[in-house]
Structure 1
Amino acid sequence: MSHAGAPVGGLLVLVDPVARRLDGESVRIAKDVLSAGAAAKICLPDSQEEFARALARRGHRQPVIVGDDRALVRAVGLLYRERGLGDGAVSLIPVGQVGSLGLARSLGVPLSAVAAARSVLDGAVRPRDLLVDDSDGVVLGDLRIPPVRAAARAPGPSVWSAYRSLVRTLVPSVARVGHRLRVEADGQLLVDVDRAVEDLRVVPVPASGGTAEVTLRLADGSSLRVRAASVTVSGPDFRYRADALVAGPVRRRTWTLRPGAWSLTVPRG
């Protein structure tokens, strides 16, 4: 781990539009702390397209994302696709609803705007592994194909009690059906479509030499856990959750671990 320090080219502070609407005070505090400690260019994009253009024009400035998990994943994905992750560290100042900051917390970023801004200026750079799929999508923390659940909602409050009772009756049988998937890890077959998968989770393992932990829970109650550098899932249309984002449906997807592909600034120690 190396010390971050203020970069020679200064900072590009990209404030996600959602963060600006939700918590203008935290955004203001972050801007004040960063501007007092480094040469900072503040960008206030009004759309994701403007966000992407500003990031692409960052020059030698270190990108600082002010926003939630989705904003961080979007920025890292854009940098990966332009092959810009090797240019330097990415920083995050988490601003958003509590439920949208789980990834930030797991990565060791302080949830306080002041503490996060200070770590941008005098924190440390930590290399992070990256899961990349065959459509250039990225996963920073957690990839899941979660259990099948009843997705419908009640048609109205007047029938809610009866509807809720019906759902409680049906959910166990729905969950037992599971996903009919073929799952391979490093080219080795783990499970085929003849066995239903209830839950699949892939998480990079720090300091493992470039492997991710693959955990399979099957609908028959058994489970399987292996480590691998790549995972391929195929079968009938399925959706998956990459960090905070739901993607799909797709019929086949391969994820490959890129060790140390990006770097994040975090507090020292």
Structure 2
Amino acid sequence: MAEVATSATSDQLLVVIDPVARRTDGESVRIAKDVLGAGAQTKLCLPDGPEEFARALARRGSRRPVVIGDDRALVRAVALLHRRRELAACALSLVPVGGALDLARSLGVPTGAVAAARAVLEGVERRMDLLVDDSDGVVLGAVRIPPLGAAPAPEAEPGRPWLRTCQSLVRTLVPSRPSRIASAPETGPARLRVEVDGKTLVDLHQSVRTVSVVPGASGTARVEVRPASVGAEASPLAAEGRTVTVSGAHFRYRADALVSGPVRTRTWEVREEAWGIVLPAR
């Protein structure tokens, strides 16, 4: 993932607090607000949903946006700025609060409220590569395509353990019904064509287990295909390029923390240094 560090100093911040963060860890949200407010002029925004979240970013003016939330909130902010074609002139900051924080960790954002808020105030902007698909969707981290019939399960919604408890209780009380497993599609290899910069890495005649696409270095994406095999595990096929196209039978895929599809074809293109995030100075 390519990076370019530049100064991110600004004494005016727009702090957008995602509703999931407010519900799951109000104490971390309060700590982050206190640290940010002590070091900069802040305007707080507490959106109740995606529409208000989008309006807050659109009306930020010259203020530097700071998102308090999880990976989904960060991806949402990048996607909104991308659609408005404002990513090039905007450096985002993130204070990770919530259940899904794998992307934040991989980017180098501190996961503690105090350390993350201090990085917002004292850090530097680093420009990162971005994957943009043919429906104008964005990917900050990785794309994963699982085996056929094993669609990537959405992560459990944070802050709602009572829901899982209720679902478990209902399952124990409701009489079981005849199983329909036999009629469901079996988990197994998929037949997909994977092309990297127009060259075929794997074609439809060869079954594959998984496909992954990850931003690499110098404006390229790293592609890995794990073929299906009999007996010993087959060696993965790998390539790097600027555009990746996957096509074939309908498939679902996980892009960052979101599951999309089914689609018959999808193309991702690397946009070099397309977005910026403020990280601790090295």
1:243-262 aligned within 5 A: 243-262=256-275
> Aligned letter for 1:33?
V
Q: Shift in Å at residue 4 of structure 1?
A: 2.0
Q: CA deviation at 1:60?
A: 1.3
Q: Does 1:212 align with 2:214?
A: no
- 1:171-206 residue CA offsets vs partner (Å, 9 max, x unmatched): xx944x31221111000011122211210001111x
Q: Quick one: which of 205, 209, 212 aligns to 1:201?
A: 212
Residue number in structure 1 paired with 2:237: 224
Please list every run of at least 4 consecutive aligned residues from structure 1 whose deviation after the TM superposition is greater than 4 angstroms: 149-152, 154-160
Residues 196, 219 of structure 1: 8 Å contact kept: yes
Q: In the aligned structure 1, how far is the partner of 2:116 from the partner of 2:27?
A: 15
Counterpart for residue 59 of structure 1: 61
Aligned positions of 1:1-269 closer than 5 A: 1-5=5-9, 7=10, 10-97=12-99, 100-148=100-148, 156=171, 174-175=186-187, 177-205=188-216, 208-220=217-229, 221-222=233-234, 223-269=236-282
Q: Is 1:3–1:122's contact at 8 Å kept on the other side of the alignment?
A: no
Distance in structure 2 (CA, Å) of the matches to 1:246 and 1:129: 21
Q: Distance in 1 between matches of 2:70 and 2:148?
A: 27
What is the aligned-residue identity percentage?
60
Structure 1 residue ranges without an equivalent (≥5)? 168-172
CA distance in 2, matches of 1:219, 1:258: 31
Contact 2:201–2:239 at 8 Å: present in 1 too?
no
Asked whether the equivalents of residues 212 and 227 of structure 1 are also in contact (C-alpha less than 8 Å), the reply is yes
Kept in 1: contact 2:189–2:228 (CA 8 A): yes
Tell me whether 192-201 or 71-80 shows the greater mean CA deviation.
192-201
- Provide TM-score, normalisation by structure 1: 0.88
User: Contact 2:123–2:278 (CA<8 Å) still a contact in 1?
Assistant: yes
AA aligned to 1:192 is D
Change (3 A) 1:86 1:150: closer
Which sections of structure 2, spanning at least 5 residues, go unmatched? 154-167
Q: List per-residue Cα deviations over 1:209-246 (Å, max 9, x = no partner).
A: 21111000011243201111110011121111000000
2-side partners of 1:150 and 1:143: how far apart? 15
Letter of the 1:117 counterpart: A
